[in-house]
Amino acid sequence: MLNITELQKEAWQSFETSGLPTTRDEDWKYTDLSRLQALLGDKWWQVAATETAVDVTALAIPELDAYRILFINGHFDAAGSNIPTSISFTPLASLMQEKPEKATELIQHQPQAPLNNSIIAANSALASDGACICIADNSHLDKPLYILYLNSGGSNHLRTGIQLGKHAEAEIIEQFSGNHTQAGITTVVTALRLHEGARLEHTRLQMEATKQYHLGRVEVSQQRNSSYTLHSSEVGGLLSRVDIVSQLQEPGATSHLNGLFVASGRQHIDHHTRIDHNAPHCISRENYRSVLDGRAHGVFNGKIVVAKGAVKTDSAQSNANLLLSKEAAIDTKPELEIYNDDVKCAHGVTVGQLDKNQLFYLKSRGLSGEEAKQMLTFAFADEILSKMNHKCVRRFVEKAAFAKLPNITDLEGMLG
Amino acid sequence: MMLKIENLHASVDGKEILKGIDLTIGAGEVHAIMGPNGSGKSTLSNVIAGRDGYEVTQGSVTYKGMDLLAMLPEERAWAGVFLAFQYPVEIPGVNNTYLLKAGVNASRKHRGEQELDAMEFMQLVKEKAKLVELDQSFLSRGVNEGFSGGEKKRNEIFQMAVLEPSLALLDETDSGLDIDALRIVAKGVNELRAAERSIIMITHYQRLLDYIQPDVVHVLADGKILKTGDKSLALKLEERGYDWVREEAHA
C-alpha cells in the first residue's frame, strides 16, 4: 500500500494528466470550468485567502442548538468547535500525521467510482483538512452535528468522512459559507458510510460568497436497512457543481435526496446525482426543484442504475423547475439504466413559468401581481424545504434563498 | 348604482362570445343570470373580474362610477369586486389564512384603513369560518389543497365573507354540490346579503334560487340578455327550458 505522500503525489499526477474537466466530457457538457484559471490564475488550487475576517456569528445559523465542528479557510478551528464526547472525531490534518494509514483510506482516489473526475483526484492530493468521524454502533446523537466550513476566498480543499455504526442515528448539517468579495474555490468530498440499520439525516447548505467556485461531492455507501436523507440547498457561489453518489449495497436500504437550487444573476448550479441499486428491496426517492432568475443556469442530471440482481427496486425521481426570466435556463436529464424486470421506477420532469390560473386567483383576492408571483415562487420552492427537521435551519435557508429574488418584500409575513 | 354594463362585446381567441350585454344592478340587489351551456355566462364573470385572455371589443362596464375595465384584477378586488370561482384552483404551499390576510390588508391599505394585526385577523377568520361551517383545520392548509368539490365552494364563500365585497359574482357556486352542502353555502350567502352589497349568481339551475331568493332573473343566451324578469321567470325556465325565450326574442 502506498504511503500518504506517495498517494497524494499519484493523485496529483492523475489530475495533471487529465487536467480540468471540459465541456467535451459528457458529464460536464453544461458546466464550463474554463474561466477558473482566468479568475484565479494558472495555479488556481493554491490561491491564498483574502484579508477579510471570517465572521462566524454572522455566517452561522442563528438559534441552532447543535454540536459544532468549525473549519476556517480549510483548517480546523478547535476554539470555535464544540464536539460531543459520544463520537470519535479527528481532524483530517491530525489524522494524516498520527494515523496516516487511516487517512489514506479516506483520501484515496478511486478512478473507478461513478461520476469520477479529475477534481476529485486534485482534492485527494490537496485536501488540507476535514472531519473524520465515527459514530459507534447503537449510538444516537442527541443534537445535530453542525459542520461549518467558512472561508474568506482563496483555495480550500476539504475531505470529510463520517461512519455510522450499526443502528447508529445522527443528524449532520454541513454548511459552506463566506463573506468575501474576491474569487475563490472550494473543493470538498464528503464520504458517508452507513452500516446496518443506521439512520442519517444530512443537510448540505451551499451558501458560498458570490464569486466562489464550489466543486463538491457526496458519496454515500449504505448497508442493510440503513436510511439516508439528504436536504441539499444550493443558494450561493458563482459556479457550483455537486455530485451525489449513492450506493445501495444491501437489501432494505433507503435513500431520499431532496434538492433545491435558487439562483439569480449569472449563477451556475449543477447537480449530478447517481443512485446505484446494487441489492434487492431498496428504495430511492429523489425530489429536486430549481428557481432560476436573471441569467442563471441550472443543470440537473439524475441517473439511476438498477443492477441485475436488484429485484423489487422501488425508485422515483422528480425534477421541477421554475424559470422566472427569459434568460434563465435549465438543462435537466433523468437517466435510467435497468438490468432486471422486477422493478418500479418512475420519473418526471417539468420546466415552466408560474401558473396563470393560480396568479389570477391570488390577484382576484387582492394581491398585487408582484405579491402573487412572490407567493407562488415561495410556495414552489418551500415544498422542498418543508421536509427539513429544524425550523431554524429552514428559516435560514428560506431567508438566504428568497432575499436574492426580486420583489420579495414580505418574507417575514410569508414565513409566518 | 352598483354596476352598469352597456353594450358589452367580448371575444376569446378572436371569437365573439358576448354580443352586446346590457345590465344594471343596484346596491343591495341579488341578480341571477341563467342560461344554457356556452351562452357566455362564465365569460361575463371573467370579464368583470379581469381575467386575461378576454378581449373587450365594444361597450363599457361601470362599477360605482369607475371604469372597471381599465382596472387591474387586484384593483377591482381592492375596490370590492369578488369572484367566487366555478373551478377554484389548488395552490399547494400557499396558506389559506395567509392569502386572506394579505388580501384583506391590501384592500384596507388601499382604502386608507389600518391593517389588521394577526390577532384581529384570526378573530375575524374564526368567526367567518363558522358561517359556512368550515372546519378550523382548513384555515392552516394550502389554498384548496386536497379539498373536495364541496369544500372548495364553501371556501369560496368563506373568502367572500372575510373579504366583504360590495359586488360578489358567484360563478356556478351550486354546481357539484350535494343538497346539504348547497344548503350550507346558501345560508352563508344569505347571511352576507346587505344593503350595500350586490350579488350576481350565475347558474344553470333553478335549484339554487330556492335557497337564495333573487330580486331579478336574467336569461343569457347566445351572448345577449334575452329576457329579464322576477323569480317566476326562473321557475318557467325550469319547466320549459330556454328555447321559448329564444323564439320570443327572435319574434
pLDDT (0 to 100) of residue A206: 98
**Alpha carbons A52 and A70: distance in angstroms, whole number:** 17
Identify which of B143, B136, B146, B131 has the alpha carbon closest to the alpha carbon of residue B184.
B131
Beta bridge partners of residue A185, listed in sequence order: A155, A213
Joined together, the cell numbers standing for residue A396 give 435560514
- B45, B89, B100, B125: best mutation site toward chain A, by most A Cβ within 10 Å? B89
- A362, A365, A387: best mutation site toward chain B, by most B Cβ within 10 Å? A365
Identify which of A341, A336, A331 has the alpha carbon closest to the alpha carbon of residue A315.
A336
C-beta atoms of A368 and B74 within 8 A: yes
Residue B77: which of A355, A366, A410 has the nearest Cβ? Answer: A366
**Alpha carbons B46 and B85: distance in angstroms, whole number:** 9
**Alpha carbons A12 and A8: distance in angstroms, whole number:** 6
Domain residue ranges of chain B, discontinuous segments joined by +: 3-89+165-250
pLDDT in tens, A197-217: 999 999 999 999 999 999 999
CATH of B3-89+165-250, one of 3.40.50.300, 1.10.10.10, 1.40.20.10, 3.40.50.720: 3.40.50.300
**Selected residue with higher pLDDT from A411 and A37:** A37
- Number of A to B CB contacts under 8 A, please give it: 80
**Is residue A371 less than 8 Å (CB to CB) from chain B?**
yes
pLDDT (0 to 100) of residue A408: 61
For chain B, what is the mean pLDDT? Answer: 93
Question: Which residues of B lie inside 8 Å of A (Cβ-Cβ)?
Answer: 49-52, 72-74, 76-78, 82-83, 85, 88-89, 91-95, 98-100, 102-104, 106-107, 142-143, 159, 163
Contact A382, B93 (CB under 8 A): yes
Closest A-chain CA to B89: A358
pLDDT surpasses 60 at A416? no
Domain residue ranges of chain A, discontinuous segments joined by +: 4-353, 355-416
**Alpha carbons B73 and B48: distance in angstroms, whole number:** 9
Identify which of A270, A332, A299, A296 has the alpha carbon closest to the alpha carbon of residue A405.
A296
**Alpha carbons A124 and A107: distance in angstroms, whole number:** 5
**Alpha carbons A332 and A321: distance in angstroms, whole number:** 9
Residue type, position B76, single letter: R
Residue A336, φ and ψ in degrees, nearest 5: -120, 130
User: How close A411 comes to chain B (CA, Å)?
Assistant: 12
Contact A354, A377 (CB under 8 A): yes
C-beta atoms of A371 and B106 within 8 A: yes
**Alpha carbons B48 and A229: distance in angstroms, whole number:** 49
pLDDT in tens, B206-237: 889 999 999 999 999 999 999 999 999 998 98
For chain A, what is the mean pLDDT? Answer: 94
**How far apart are the two ends of chain B, measured CA to CA in Å?**
32
**Alpha carbons B18 and A301: distance in angstroms, whole number:** 49
**Alpha carbons A193 and A217: distance in angstroms, whole number:** 14
pLDDT in tens, B95-152: 899 999 999 999 999 989 999 998 999 999 999 999 888 888 888 889 999 999 989 9
The whole-number average pLDDT for the span B29-48 is 94
The whole-number average pLDDT for the span A176-185 is 93
C-beta atoms of B159 and A361 within 8 A: no
| Beta strands in B152-232, from DSSP E residues, in sequence order | 167-171, 198-203, 216-221, 224-229
Sign of the C-alpha dihedral computed for residues B164, B165, B166 and B169 taken in this order: negative
